[in-house]
């Protein structure tokens, strides 16, 4: 859909946010319903997106829509982003456990440092939360979770100091 340079709401510090098109979760109260259509946005090459990431020189956040619907296409991009030394966050309406059940999604999960998982739930909306919109959503440390065999919260991002 778009690339936002220097966002500070999609993870710690300034980040390059890559907004993907397509989301079937259709969460009531979603802050970005314009990204739901799978035919929205435009095609972009790995090289073009990576060039923008390098110019910005910020860590990266995948958001949308739901990037996991485009997991297979995002794997080469995330490989290249990681090779440049940038960390990657990913927002998804799927749970961590659901992601691991799908081969393409699980492959993308392994390239991401932090996943903010779960659908946005309007009844659990909380504007005081850091980096997530509703109480059910978790900020997950992917490397620790894969080692442990279950979702491990990235506790450091639940604290106010994470915003600095």
User: In the chain, what are the domain boundaries?
Assistant: 2-163
Dist. CA 143–CA 154, nearest whole Å: 10
The predicted pLDDT at position 160 comes to 63
Show pLDDT as tens, one digit a residue, over the chain (164 residues).
899 999 988 999 999 999 999 999 989 988 888 888 888 888 899 999 999 999 999 999 999 999 999 999 999 999 999 999 999 999 999 999 999 999 999 999 999 999 999 999 999 999 889 899 999 999 999 999 999 999 999 988 887 655 54
The predicted pLDDT at position 79 comes to 97
The predicted pLDDT at position 164 comes to 46
Among 126, 95, 119, 144, CA closest to 24: 119
What distance separates the 2 farthest-apart alpha carbons in the chain?
A: 41
The predicted pLDDT at position 119 comes to 96
- Helix 71-83 to helix 46-56 angle (10° resolution) is 40
User: Would you say the pTM of this structure is higher than 0.85?
Assistant: yes
The count of residues in the chain is 164
The dihedral sign for the CA sequence 43, 15, 66, 144: positive
117: left (phi over 0), alpha (psi -120 to 50) or beta: beta
List of E strands, 15-79: 15-20, 59-64
113: Cβ–Cβ under 8 A, 6 or more apart, which residues? 87, 88, 89, 141, 142, 143
The predicted pLDDT at position 86 comes to 97
Backbone angles phi, psi at 61, to 5 degrees: -125, 130
Backbone angles phi, psi at 54, to 5 degrees: -65, -40
Please say whether the beta carbons of 113 and 35 come within 8 A: no
CATH number of 2-163: 3.20.20.70
């Amino acid at each position: 859909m778009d690339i936002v340079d220097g966002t500070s709401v999609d993870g710690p510090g300034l980040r390059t946010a890559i907004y993907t098109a397509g989301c079937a979760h259709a969460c009531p109260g979603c802050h970005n319903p314009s990204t739901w259509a799978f035919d929205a946005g435009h095609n972009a090459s790995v090289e073009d997106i990576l060039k923008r990431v390098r110019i910005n020189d910020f860590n990266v956040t995948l958001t949308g829509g739901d990037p996991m619907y485009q997991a297979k296409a995002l794997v080469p991009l995330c490989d290249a982003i990681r090779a440049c030394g940038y960390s990657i966050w990913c927002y998804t309406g799927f749970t961590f456990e659901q992601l691991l059940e799908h081969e393409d999604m699980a492959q993308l999960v392994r390239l991401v440092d932090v996943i903010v998982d779960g659908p946005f739930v309007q009844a659990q909306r909380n504007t005081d939360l850091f980096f997530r919109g509703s109480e059910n959503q978790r900020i997950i440390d992917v490397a620790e979770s894969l080692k442990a065999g279950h979702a491990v919260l990235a506790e450091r991002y639940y604290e106010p100091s994470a915003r600095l």
